Amino acid sequence: MPFIPHTEEEVRQMLDAIGANSIEDLFDEIPADLRSFSLDKIPEGLPEMEVAHLMHERARKDSNVHCFIGAGAYDHHIPSAVWEIATRGEFYSAYTPYQAEASQGTLQLLYEYQSMMSALMDMDVSNASLYDGASALGEAILMAIRAHRKSKSKKILVPKSLHPAYRQAANAIVKNQDIELIEIPFESATGKTSLAALSEYAGTDITALVIGQPNFFGVLEDVDGLTRWAEENNTMTIAVVNPLAMSVLKPPGQWGDNGADIACGEGQPLGIPLSSGGPYFGFMCATQKIVRQMPGRIIGRTVDLDGKPGFSLTLQAREQHIRRSKATSNICTNQGLMVTAATIHMSLLGAEGLARAAAGSHDKHRKLVSGLSAIEGVEVKFDSPVFNEAVISLPVDNATVLEALAADNVLAGFDLKKDYPELGNALLVCATEKHSAASIDLFIEKLGALLAS
Amino acid sequence: MPFIPHTEEEVRQMLDAIGANSIEDLFDEIPADLRSFSLDKIPEGLPEMEVAHLMHERARKDSNVHCFIGAGAYDHHIPSAVWEIATRGEFYSAYTPYQAEASQGTLQLLYEYQSMMSALMDMDVSNASLYDGASALGEAILMAIRAHRKSKSKKILVPKSLHPAYRQAANAIVKNQDIELIEIPFESATGKTSLAALSEYAGTDITALVIGQPNFFGVLEDVDGLTRWAEENNTMTIAVVNPLAMSVLKPPGQWGDNGADIACGEGQPLGIPLSSGGPYFGFMCATQKIVRQMPGRIIGRTVDLDGKPGFSLTLQAREQHIRRSKATSNICTNQGLMVTAATIHMSLLGAEGLARAAAGSHDKHRKLVSGLSAIEGVEVKFDSPVFNEAVISLPVDNATVLEALAADNVLAGFDLKKDYPELGNALLVCATEKHSAASIDLFIEKLGALLAS
Amino acid sequence: MLIFEQSSKGRVAHAQSPATKASLDDLPADMLRETPPLMPEVSEMQAVRHYTRLSQKNFSIDTHFYPLGSCTMKYNPRACNSLSMLPGLVDRHPYAPDSHSQGFLSCMHDLQEILKEVTGMKAVSLSPMAGAQGEFAGVAMIKAYHESRGDMARNEIIVPDAAHGTNPASAVMCGYKIQEIPTRDDGDIDVDALKEVLGPQTAGIMLTNPSTVGVFERRIQEIAALVHEAGGLLYYDGANLNAILGKVRPGDMGFDVIHMNLHKTFSTPHGGGGPGAGPVGVSERLEPFLPIPMIDYDGTNYRFITADDRPQSIGRLSAFAGNAGILLRAYIYARLLGRQGMTRVAEYSTLNANYMLKKMKAAGFEAAYPDRRATHEFIITLRKEAKDLGVNAMDFAKRLLDYGVHAPTTYFPLLVPECFLIEPTETESIDALDNFVEAMIKIREEAETGADRVKGAPYTLPVRRLDDVKAARELDIAWKPAE
Amino acid sequence: MLIFEQSSKGRVAHAQSPATKASLDDLPADMLRETPPLMPEVSEMQAVRHYTRLSQKNFSIDTHFYPLGSCTMKYNPRACNSLSMLPGLVDRHPYAPDSHSQGFLSCMHDLQEILKEVTGMKAVSLSPMAGAQGEFAGVAMIKAYHESRGDMARNEIIVPDAAHGTNPASAVMCGYKIQEIPTRDDGDIDVDALKEVLGPQTAGIMLTNPSTVGVFERRIQEIAALVHEAGGLLYYDGANLNAILGKVRPGDMGFDVIHMNLHKTFSTPHGGGGPGAGPVGVSERLEPFLPIPMIDYDGTNYRFITADDRPQSIGRLSAFAGNAGILLRAYIYARLLGRQGMTRVAEYSTLNANYMLKKMKAAGFEAAYPDRRATHEFIITLRKEAKDLGVNAMDFAKRLLDYGVHAPTTYFPLLVPECFLIEPTETESIDALDNFVEAMIKIREEAETGADRVKGAPYTLPVRRLDDVKAARELDIAWKPAE
Ligand SMILES: Cc1ncc(COP(=O)(O)O)c(C=O)c1O
Ligand SMILES: Cc1ncc(COP(=O)(O)O)c(C=O)c1O
């Protein structure tokens, strides 16, 4: 019996103690007519060795690709130490740190995480994580609505240049609470959120404006202009940023005159493997004055009975286990282990290492894009500074190109046609510091050959 | 500077404290004329990311083979837990447990290891490891010579059916001490050590007889007969065994009338990956009465100042750091981490799991051999019970077959021609419980097709 | 000491980033960061040492018995971790095309099928990222269902007083009002009270069965009939699925929608606070509303089911496909257990809980529901000890830590005073259970000779009891360098 | 509690072996085992929990400052472990054909080349499995060399009194007698004494430089000339290579043969007692005698050099090719460091040692060689403290553990009374060094108020001081069940 330690003799001894004849007896409160069904479609158990066979085989099927897709998930270098430590049993197999005294490892780490994220965003406070970037945006919108007491509209302006999946997920999360997400178009030449379109809403009651940096196209938004617009219109700002990029780009706390109110996003670039899209972690930072509206766990530094410093969950009165239906969010289990990895990752890189990774990544992207755009018929779509990825347009059908290159194990980018048909045959392509020059050349060569043929 | 924490300012501060102008000054006792050389042929340092690229590429070159070579190194299932725990920093990056109080983890584990090995061999005592199986045989021979005070000959009988590399290594290790290794032939029909040939030495002064079980051909030796011969001739016995096999085969402690005197061998089948032949670990067990002649570290259970049980290195007076030129061996660093893994491995499998692994391995081997020997012209070489591997003879040149199959990524076995030309076109083939039926069928099919063509 | 306090200005772990910083000269200066963030500046070894040592300050399943009720802290097989991190899986991009994803997609599809079978539901979506998000998805589906039928008046969700806090919080996020109903002294729901609150405003009811008081709701079929008659739907909070896995199925009890906590029942690690995975399963009528993406199999190829296939879907809850790596771990676990092994999960977790309950009672501790079978967990109340000896449940909990046992869940569910919700799980041996009972007896003995020793606990941990009031009042949640 | 004491008869971790035991009916009954060995019978979780908790009882580089002289306990980069265990490497069979081994072989070949360059030797064999086996190989080559020249009378190896115990032990294993020579008060070898023992019976001398007393042997060139004149060869014990890596090369000093401790200088883990790797490098005249196998590269392919290629080889020292996985780790480390990084190893380990020495002296501790530069390590003698305060080096060592610092090497080399051999390594920060000095000062202060506190140490570890005498007298080295 895998993972069950009981010997037959022990089972007998336990049943005797209980005063039951069989294990089956212990289920005698369950109505008998609920007990007949078959599990035949579930396979027989296998020893670890056989499951390992199976998983190796399946993993092999998805292996050995040259992947140039970014679109919200980025393949950066992760030091070996990160996951060797994060998967230590004491981190890996602990529960949420409710018993503070028995969880100082996790608690101190989370406090350090909060400190690092606050610094990276240049914001006052951080929570200890949300599920992922997209759902964090949903939570940020709900938080803005709670925090912006003067605004009654529940209207949120969301640029169309924001990741489509983020817009969809945020909508799914907030739509049942009569919140309206209003789409703001982007300028077709620059790919930036249109300040002209925004001006339509000037003077009206808007609860918050969402600003992505970089936006889904990799394009750098005019974050100062957008934030100032919000400041002038009594609108809160929600920054959705790539945290690694913030090691080199102006962070949300410095946008406009007073900085963004809330910063959130996807923590994945900070030491989390691609892993088919998850588990990643959503981060959220905010200004001090709205900390009590923040969802999720928060760790505080305090002292013990002897006056020795220690850490514990704090501001729990915001949370569902105390406040139930009046909580700031329903979130309970968050993404602790991912934050553990990210904290170790950030410690190993430091500000300098993060900046070098970001710049190195951007550099590889420039090499890729300059190679691709030198191909006859391939063009860079937007006339704007970008970070780490860019939209290119192809002279022929997107899908055909993607399929042909995939046959050579080159995954050539994210197909924008479905979400942005107005962009024509456009691909979002990305390279990071991890891409070898050979891999980048292969892509350029294959695309060149394909388009020449 | 990878792995060096010093900032420029700290270096200055430290040099000031020392009273030196530069780091270079600290080397001023080295004669100046020794200081000019170039390291230009050593490559520049690379960040971890680039070294990872390089290693992935190299690893890929050696991947994805169907390997049917055993010959002293066996690919058995290793539970994931084994190496996840063995590579925890506290085990991985600790030194030899000289400071017992700060090393109770390693010390207790080693005590448990000694207990498990003693049980597996059914011998009184075990040391805490030697380098590998072959060098352990060398040490066992030296130990026998120290222990067998009455024997003056320094003659050791070594069956030719023992692993050729073991014979070579043992010889390299003992030959400078006027020790003579005498080769005992095997019976050509059975592959077993020839008792007839042995009888030549009856009544002469022989220090020890080496007995392999199974022998290099996978053949089970008549261990009782051989041990009795030694007992009758006042000769010590050194068992060289596959420890996993001992979970199902009669262990050295039960051979003959009184059991073997020393048991040694290669610990690799107990949770150590193939890893190109090392690091593995040599084990050594013995009877209580010759424990003081045993080489290597030994851990003992004792008590602390408060009477609490604890563990420490014991019988250190045998060792080089105390006895210097009079030590039982020069061994210092041994294979601690491998033993750590093996101990966890044995705990996870237990006696029943080890026996199932051994029997399962043997079973896969039987399937392989029955499939191979059904091929026209392929024959099983010896008419003897074997464990886990067997010698087959081919109707055509060995090398050609091996090369042809290798082109299909099937590594078809160990070529015996060089070490045993008398066996003709013979291969030593092996399968373990880890081989899938599909992989075994592939080998059979490819060999069949090749020989039919 | 904090990692920040080990920093030295300019220290860099050089193996971990490119040797130089590449130029960003194509970016306008006013978009760049002027001063670097205040991050730790430590060597690789300092980071490794710091976090290795921090880890040692935790209790965890790999180090301690952890009978935390409602949390199912059972052994997390190490193979689930290592096999889910194989190259090809760990580095698969979420937008890799189906042609290069058949390995991953087949695992996800198989997991959907296994979860369907073992819960008795018609269809499963794996995408919710934890139990609470599963609850949200479930209630959102209930809402979408009513709305799709034009049934707009249903604005209430019924929740028992014993329910987990996420239940009401999730319903509120879907725009519902909460109706609370009481639990009876025997642990079952008060069906009369339920009847009273049922009506045309009822959208549905959220239940767990076994409930959070550790007993099986015996009248579940009657409750299902009543709710369905009133036009409401039944939501099953799967946090306690471990108790009944392979023994009885929520789908057969009459539930319309359920979530599963794979980080409980399917043993994916809890990681010091997640990540989890909260797949949802539904009966036929809710299938169109399931959150995307899901995985389809046409007999040859696996592919993602997207919004195009499911126009009525409540939508997507994550940027990609949920906590994929956690789902892989659950899949590996499911294959290790197989059909038989799943049934044994319920059997042996129930055996362990009933054995412990019996021993606790024999030792003189008071069971909250003395006449009921324990399920996979049970409640004792320490109100007698609190009153007679002046040591409450929290004191017992803290002192248990000194005995090398993680405390059970305390003060939840709220309706039982001074309660311990104890869940041993199936992976603990009889020795661990006996040890716990002995520790409890010893602590009571200590308390009998004076409350102070117990109230001062713990003594052997990295810190003693922490000042939570100070933590909240003098909020220090991000380190700032001393001025 | 021992793992055996957690056993329960019949308990099996079922995921870890085939579901049933296959038949062995083709094997004769009298060759089979009748009763199973007495092994632990535990669940997977019990084993995981037991060994995880045991691990926590260790000091290690990943958790503590570990300034163990002569042992070079520096940071073991985690990448060296994970990259050496990539599929393709970790599962390569030692007898896989060259055609399917080019990845592995190229790493081994490159490592040989790097080690040649950085030591200044003509050729390198990677096969010895630890320092001591490297010594054995080295001395065996010296012997083979003399014998190949018909020079059979040389039967002595000279060893300084400060030498590590393995040196004489290894020479004896090669059939040599040992001639010991003294170390002078300034730490250098007594060259006059050397001259006296040199003669036609001299096979060679074994030295380390810097020596085990932590100073650089200044007259090394003169010594080399003397020994060579006498017809002997020079053996270099590379345990202290960390001190001079990239700064000065044993080959240039005149050594004929050297071993390297990769588990020291090249940072492969010490693993609680190994495995190590002790490659040997030689000058031209010893090249034919190198132990097999080695790796050859013809510009296209890599292959093993075997006995066929090297008829004069001293032979093979292991069944396969030595501790291959450790060699991979060393190779990865070498690539991470590169040329420049190697030189920095010597520079910063020397800087750290000299800084500590200076601070220790300033704090009033007595240096054994006060007028000498420290190399990567240095010796202090606590004879004054032992005499005045009644606390000896061992007492200081044990008390340091309470301060969270692993003790330096004590009582080695034997010639300095009450000695600490302190080796901080290059990977420690100034803070760690300062901490150590402060702890030493505090311990001395404690001792000044009475010896007992220090003599009773350690207090904060899993056990207090152990009874080694009892351990040896009442030998308990294998667990037996209570009758
Ligand atoms: C009964 C119950 N319901 C719901 C949840 C919420 O699940 P999660 O923490 O995964 O969001 C929990 C977990 O704590 C629970 O115990
Ligand atoms: C000076 C010296 N020589 C030789 C050795 C022996 O090396 P190993 O332990 O690798 O056999 C050591 C290691 O302890 C040493 O310090």
How far is B185 from B195, CA to CA, in rounded Å?
Answer: 9
C122 touches chain A (CB under 8 A): no
What would you measure as the largest C-alpha separation in chain A, in angstroms? 83
User: Cα dist. C184→C161, C165, C194, C217, D316 in Å?
Assistant: 10, 19, 12, 11, 79
- C-alpha span between B239 and B241 (Å, rounded): 6
Beta bridge partners of D292: D316
| Mutation choice for ligand 2 from D66, D70, D421, CB with most ligand atoms inside 8 A | D70
- Predicted confidence band of residue C278 (pLDDT cuts 50, 70, 90): very high
How much is the pLDDT for A321?
A: 85
A53 interfaces chain D, CB cutoff of 8 Å: no
- On whether both B123 and B174 belong to a single domain, the answer is yes
For residues A227 and A221, what is the distance between their CA atoms, to the nearest angstrom?
Answer: 11
pLDDT band at B319 (very low <50, low <70, confident <90, very high): confident
Q: Per residue in C19-40, pLDDT tens?
A: 999 999 999 999 999 999 999 9
Predicted local distance difference test score (pLDDT) of residue B325: 86
pLDDT tens, N- to C-terminus, chain D (483 residues): 999 999 999 999 999 999 999 999 999 999 999 999 999 999 999 999 999 999 999 999 999 999 999 999 999 999 999 999 999 999 999 999 999 999 999 999 999 999 999 999 999 999 999 999 999 999 999 999 999 999 999 999 999 999 999 999 999 999 999 999 999 999 999 999 999 999 999 999 999 999 999 999 999 999 999 999 999 999 999 999 999 999 999 999 999 999 999 999 999 999 999 999 999 999 999 999 999 999 999 999 999 999 999 999 999 999 999 999 999 999 999 999 999 999 999 999 999 999 999 999 999 999 999 999 999 999 999 999 999 999 999 999 999 999 999 999 999 998 999 999 999 999 999 999 999 999 999 999 999 999 999 999 999 999 999 999 999 999 999 999 987
Percent of chain C past pLDDT 90, that is, above it, reads: 99
C40 close to A347: Cβ distance less than 8 angstroms: yes
Distance of CA A318 to the CA centre of its chain: 23
What is the set of domains in chain C, with CATH numbers? 79-336 (3.40.640.10), 348-471 (3.90.1150.10)
Side chain identity, residue B177? Q
**Greatest CA separation found in chain B?**
83
d(CA D43, CA C307): 45
Kindly state whether residue B274 falls inside one of the protein's structural domains.
Answer: yes
Cβ-Cβ contacts under 8 Å, D84 against chain A: none
Residues A146 and A213 in one domain: yes
Q: What percent of chain A has pLDDT over 70?
A: 100
**pLDDT at residue A325 greater than cutoff 90:** no
Cα angle C35-C41-C46, degrees, rounded to a multiple of 5: 170
The token pair at D337 is: 């460091």
Q: How remote is the CA of residue D33 from the centroid of ligand 1, in Å?
A: 51
Q: Assess contact for C42 and C6: CB atoms under 8 A.
A: yes
**Is some CB atom of chain B closer than 8 A to the CB atom of A49?**
yes
For the segment C46-53, the average pLDDT, to the nearest whole number, is: 98
**Which of C68, C135, C164 has most ligand 1 atoms within 8 Å of its beta carbon, as the pocket-test mutant?**
C164
Tokens of A156: 């949120």
Q: Which amino acid, residue D291?
A: P
**Cα A202 to Cα A205: distance, rounded to the nearest angstrom:** 8
CA distances from D319 to B172, C447, D128 (A): 12, 63, 11
Mean pLDDT of all residues belonging to chain C: 97
Q: How is residue B396 written in tokens?
A: 């055509």
| Residue B272 main-chain phi, psi, to 5 deg | -105, 130
A280 part of a folded domain: yes
Query: What's the sign of the alpha-carbon dihedral C10, C14, C19, C25?
Result: negative
User: Looking at the structure, do residues B46 and B169 belong to the same domain, yes or no?
Assistant: no
Say yes or no to pLDDT of B323 above 90: no
User: A324 with A364, same domain?
Assistant: no
pLDDT at C483 over 80: no
Tell me, letter by letter, the H, E, C secondary structure of chain D: CCHHHHCCCCCCCHHHCCCCCCCCCCCCHHHECCCCCCCCCCCHHHHHHHHHHHHCCECCCCCCECCECCCCCCCCCHHHHHHHCCCCCCCCCCCCCHHHCHHHHHHHHHHHHHHHHHHCCCEEECCCCCHHHHHHHHHHHHHHHHHHCCCCCCCEEEEECCCCCHHHHHHHHCCCEEEEECECCCCCECHHHHHHHCCCCEEEEEECCCCCCCCCCCCHHHHHHHHHHCCCEEEEEECCHHHCCCCCCHHHHCCCEEEECHHHHCCCCCCCCCCCCCCEEECHHHHHHCCECEEEECCCCEEEECCCCCCCCCCECCCCCCCHHHHHHHHHHHHHHHHHHHHHHHHHHHHHHHHHHHHHHHCCCEECCCCCCCCCCEEEECHHHHHHHCCCHHHHHHHHHHCCECCCEECCCCCCCCEEEECCCCCCCHHHHHHHHHHHHHHHHHHHCCCHHHHCCCCCCCCCCECHHHHHHCCCCCCCCCC
**Cα–Cα distance for residue pair D17/D32, rounded to 1 Å:** 20
Q: Please give all residues whose beta carbon lies within 6 A of any atom in ligand 2, as ranges.
A: B 332-333; D 70, 130-132, 164, 166, 208, 212, 237, 239, 261, 276, 278
Is B103 in a helix, a strand, or coil? strand
Q: Counting beta carbons within 10 angstroms of the beta carbon of residue B36, is it exposed (0 to 12), middle (13 to 18) or buried (19 or more)?
A: exposed
State the Cα–Cα distance between residues A117 and A111, nearest whole angstrom.
Answer: 10
What is the pLDDT averaged over residues B408-415? 97
Residues of A in contact with D44 (CB under 8 A): 2-3
Same domain, residue pair B288 and B202? yes
In a shared domain, residues B230 and B338: yes
Residue from A82, C325, C266, D50 nearest B85 by CA? D50
Per-residue model confidence (pLDDT) at position A324: 85
Is pLDDT of B312 > 80? yes
- pLDDT reported for residue B289: 96
Residue among C264, A363, A310, B20 nearest D350 (CA) = B20
pLDDT in tens, A247-263: 999 999 999 999 999 99
Rounded to an integer, the average pLDDT of A167-174 is 98
User: In this structure, are residues A197 and A238 in contact, taking their beta carbons and an 8 Å threshold?
Assistant: no
- Residue with CA at minimum distance from ligand 2 atom 15: D239
DSSP state of B23: G
Inside any domain, residue A3: no
In a domain, B173, yes or no: yes
Cβ contacts (< 8 Å) between C429 and chain D: which residues?
6, 8, 11, 43, 46
Report d(CA D162, CA A91) in Å as an integer. Answer: 46
Interchain proximity B47–C43, CB inside 8 Å: no
In the structure encoding, which two tokens stand for residue D166, read together? 């393995």
Q: Is residue B227 part of a domain?
A: yes
Residue C197: exposure state from Cβ atoms within 10 A (0-12, 13-18, ≥19): middle
Are residues A325 and A385 both part of a single domain? no
- B160 in helix, strand or coil? coil
Per-residue model confidence as pLDDT tens digits over B100-156: 999 999 999 999 999 999 999 999 999 999 999 999 999 999 999 999 999 999 999
- pLDDT tens digit sequence for A255-312: 999 999 999 999 999 999 999 999 999 999 999 999 999 999 999 999 999 999 999 9
For A238, the 3-state DSSP assignment is strand
CATH number of the CATH domain containing A302: 3.40.640.10
Q: Are residues A109 and A240 in the same domain?
A: yes
Q: Which two tokens stand for residue D40?
A: 């632990």
Provide the pairing of β-strand B414-415 with B426-430: antiparallel
Q: Which residue has the tokens 């059909």?
A: C339
Q: Does D62 touch chain B (CB under 8 A)?
A: yes
Band of pLDDT at residue B39, cut at 50, 70 and 90: very high
- For residues A51 and A112, membership in a common domain is answered with no
pLDDT of residue D476: 97
DSSP line for B232-286: HTT-EEEEEE-TTGGGTBPPGGGSTTT--SEEEEE-TTTT---GGG-S--EEEEE
C-alpha to C-alpha distance for D445 and D452, rounded to whole angstroms: 12
| pLDDT confidence tier of residue B400, bands split at 50, 70 and 90 | very high
**Final residue in a domain of this structure, among A277, A311, A346:** A346
The pLDDT of residue A323: 85
Check CB contact under 8 Å for D6 and C45: no
The verdict on a CB contact (< 8 Å) between C11 and B84 is no
**List of chain A residues whose C-beta atoms are within 8 Å of the C-beta of residue C466:** 100-101, 302-304, 310-312
Contact D15 A79 (CB under 8 A): no
Q: Which of B136, B93, B408, B426 is nearest to B267 (CA)?
A: B136
Number of domains observed in the structure of chain A: 3
Residues 284 to 343 of C: which have CB under 8 A from any D CB? 336
pLDDT (0 to 100) of residue A51:
98
Does the residue B1 lie in any domain? no
Which amino acid residue places its CA nearest to atom 16 of ligand 1? C70
Does residue A249 sit in the same domain as residue A374? Answer: no
| B419 CB within 8 Å of a chain A CB | no
Q: What pLDDT is stored for residue B111 in this prediction?
A: 98
Cβ atoms of D44 and C71 within 8 Å: the answer is: no
Q: What is the CATH number of the domain that holds B388?
A: 3.90.1150.10
pLDDT reported for residue A1: 84
pLDDT at res. A137: 98
Q: E strands, A71-175, where?
A: 125-126, 155-159
User: Model confidence over A67-92: pLDDT tens digits?
Assistant: 999 999 999 999 999 999 999 999 99
Q: Which ligand is nearest to the CA of D276?
A: 2
The pLDDT of residue B330: 95
Strand ranges for A108-245 from DSSP E: 125-126, 155-159, 180-184, 208-213, 236-241
Q: Please give the distance of CA C323 from its chain centroid, rounded to a whole number.
A: 14
C323: left (phi over 0), alpha (psi -120 to 50) or beta: beta
- Distance, first Cα to last Cα, chain A: 60
Q: What is the chain A residue with the closest CA to C26?
A: A385
Q: Can you tell me the distance from the alpha carbon of A373 to that of A380, in angstroms, rounded to the nearest whole number? A: 6
B270 domain-assigned: yes
Q: Are residues A228 and A171 in the same domain?
A: yes
DSSP state of A153: S
Residue C418 has pLDDT above 90, yes or no: yes
Q: Output the CA angle B46-B47-B53, nearest 5 degrees.
A: 85
C424 lines ligand 1 (CB under 6 A): no
Q: Which ligand is nearest to the CA of D273?
A: 2
pLDDT of residue B6: 98
DSSP A186: B
Question: Do residues A142 and A181 share a domain?
Answer: yes
What range does the domain containing A440 cover? 66-75+351-452
In a domain, B199, yes or no: yes
Q: Is C125 in the pocket of ligand 1 (CB under 6 A)?
A: no
Among B residues 62-91, those touching chain C with beta carbons less than 8 Å apart: 79-81, 84-85, 89-90
Query: In angstroms, rounded to a whole number, what is the distance separating the alpha carbons of residues A377 and C268?
Result: 49
The chain C residue lying nearest D427, using CA atoms, is C45
